[in-house]
Amino acid sequence: MDNKQNNKKPEYPKPPLPKMKKSQKITFWIVLLLMIIIFFQLSKMSNGKITPISYTELMEKVKRGEILKVIFNDKDLRVVDTENRQYSLYLPFRDPDLVKELSSSGILVYAQKPSKLTAFLLSWLPFLVFIGFWLFMMRGMRGGAGQAFSFGKSRARLTIGGKTRITFKDVAGVDEAKEELEEIIEFLQDPKKFQRLGGRIPRGVLLVGQPGTGKTLLAKAVAGEAKVPFYSISGSDFVEMFVGVGASRVRDMFAEAKKNAPCIAFIDEIDAVGRSRGTGLGGGHDEREQTLNQLLVEMDGFDANDSVIIIAATNRPDVLDPALLRPGRFDRQVVVDLPDIKGREEILKVHTKKLPLSKNVSLSLIARATPGFSGADLANLANEAALLAARKNKKKIEMVDFEEAKDKVTLGKARKSKVITPEDKKITAYHEVGHVICSIFQKETEPIHKVSIIPRGFTGGATHFLQTEKMNYSKSYLEETLVGLYGGRCAEEIAFGKNHITTGAYNDIERATDIAKKMVCNWGMSPKIGAIVVAKKESQVFLGRDITKHETISEETAKKIDNEIHRITSTAYNNAIEILSDKKELLDEMAKILMEKETLNADEIYELAFKFVENGEKEFIETKYKKVKEMAFEVSSKDKKSQENDSAEKTEKPPTPDKSENNSEKSENSAKTTEKELKEE
């Protein structure tokens, strides 16, 4: 009985049938009526079985007296014989003697008037079909919005305030941006509060930020909070294949907005229509440029009392036209940046408020473990944790599910089925332990959390660190970071020899070279080059503008730069060799244990380290280990205080990983110079 119930397929509610518009209903009934009329007319004409007959056969049957009656319908004849069989005949010519001969033979002769409706339908039906097909094609060409000739009509969707479920309560981690937009809404609702001191309404607000930081979500929250009409449209909706359509749609959207003022219009991905003019391959008469010109005119042509505010979002502010960004059009540029630890915790609270969390889940620890994560990344992390817990038939989501979800999101799913040779496993173990030891025996490196050689995604292993929030990075910190990055390759060289180093350190070397290059070219940390910037600003190439720019340096300076980069990387490599050679016994023992257990946490790592350190180093290692414990205690205390306010029980958990080093191209980054770079890795 229970098995039958368990095997019973779940019943899902049937989706509601789509509702037809009034015009669609009228069209449907007209087509249905025409089909019914045609059906009855054709069935009337084809009542009974009618056999075609020739003129000669007809005259022979007349002579034999087998014909009962003949019905004339213009040039068509229908013949009925004495056995009630029907025949049809077409006369292309008129025979005046035929009627006389039929009458003289005693045959009944009838004349039937042609049906005007049938004749009309048969003559006009092909034309009507062609018109219907043309209207259908025109409707498809313009995307299915509006009437057949409304190419220039705006596609902006109107939302009346309060109809959307998303509000500012659903937005977290971007408090400054929320304040800016809340002020805009307040201005529309109570403009006199600001105008009494001479202030004027902002014409536009531009939301700038990386993908996934919540720009569109903020706009949805504005739509939910505002008590005024809210128009939303994508930048790509303005531009079509027909010349002049984009500019016409801009005019129509602003005309509608002015009719419903005060209101807000939101343009998502405005870089699709707002790119700099005169730099593309289309020239000055490009359709997109005409659309941008019209947008500039409409934004700057508002009446002071129109109370229409434009909110736009983009993640490519560098390609926008300068005329679009000037005050009077977009008065405010609101940066929606990646959230910090506090912001990530608030975002996690929003995305987990409807999830059944276990008491051991610490959102503070998860926030500390996810530097560089955007709001969309954290939402995906919470969803993955819920899916993992559901796959294991758990009633609540536990901390281990979040940690596994983070590893899956950042490194990929664990490849348990992958067959790894003992030789590859040994190389990976030494590589990861090299990272660990170089981190432990340096002063400014991040605290170790765990090391693993379980393959995930494209990685063979990873070393995880706890994150300490930093705004500035010192030269000594970056130099120690380089030593840690080279630790994997140096461990391979010490354990297996220079001729047996592998390709596993490719990503580590790439990242180390990048940091060294920035130290010399961007951050002025080379005494020989000096405090100057000789590197081009990193951004995506904008065809037409960037292609004509040439930033060159002298050959002598380029040679100095290459020498300085080589000096910095060589020094870091030699320091890593020195540390690992001095701790060769620890390297061998930790690699051996890691091969057996596949994963070592911070307690196991430092327990091994204490066995192989000298007396002078013991205090230094204790300080590093104490830092790990302090970070865990700091977060645990914060969680305890928060849960006491919520009358919830606190269960301590060990710290989760922050960032990782591994021996693969797509490994996580253990040392980044900015949170943005952390995210990009």
Contact 175, 344 (CB under 8 A): no
3-class DSSP state of 583 = coil
Give DSSP secondary structure letters for 372-401: T--HHHHHHHHHHHHHHHHHTT-SSB-HHH
DSSP H helices, 522-614, are: 555-582, 584-597, 602-612
CB atoms within 10 A of CB 55: 15
Tell me the C-alpha distance between 549 and 539, whole Å: 13
Identify the sign of the CA torsion 603, 605, 611, 613.
Answer: negative
Cβ contacts of 589-595, under 8 Å, gap ≥ 24: 590/433, 590/436, 590/437, 591/426, 591/429, 591/430, 591/433, 591/491, 591/495, 592/429, 594/429, 594/432, 594/433, 594/451, 594/453, 595/425, 595/426, 595/429, 595/453
Return the structure tokens found at 110.
């009838």
Q: How many other CB atoms sit within 10 Å of the CB of residue 579?
A: 22
Q: What is the identity of the amino acid at 552?
A: T
Q: Estimate the crossing angle of helix 602-612 against helix 422-440, to 10 degrees.
A: 80
**Would you state the structure tokens that stand for residue 73, as one six-digit string?**
């319908």
Q: How far apart are CA 304 and CA 179, in angstroms?
A: 23
Of 225, 345, 404, 432, the active-site residue reads 432
Instruction: Report whether 248 contacts 255 (CB < 8 A).
Output: no
Enumerate residues 6+ apart whose C-beta is below 8 A from 644: 650
Has 598 been annotated as catalytic?
no
The sheet with strand 599-601 has its strands ordered as 599-601, 448-452, 462-465, 659-661
> What is the Cα–Cα distance from 310 to 541, expressed in whole angstroms?
28
Cβ atoms within 10 Å of 392's Cβ, excluding its own: 11
In the block, tokens 């995506």 appear at 540
Nearest to 447 by CA among 194, 167, 657, 200: 657
- Tokens 């770079």 locate to 677
- The catalytic site residues sit at 432
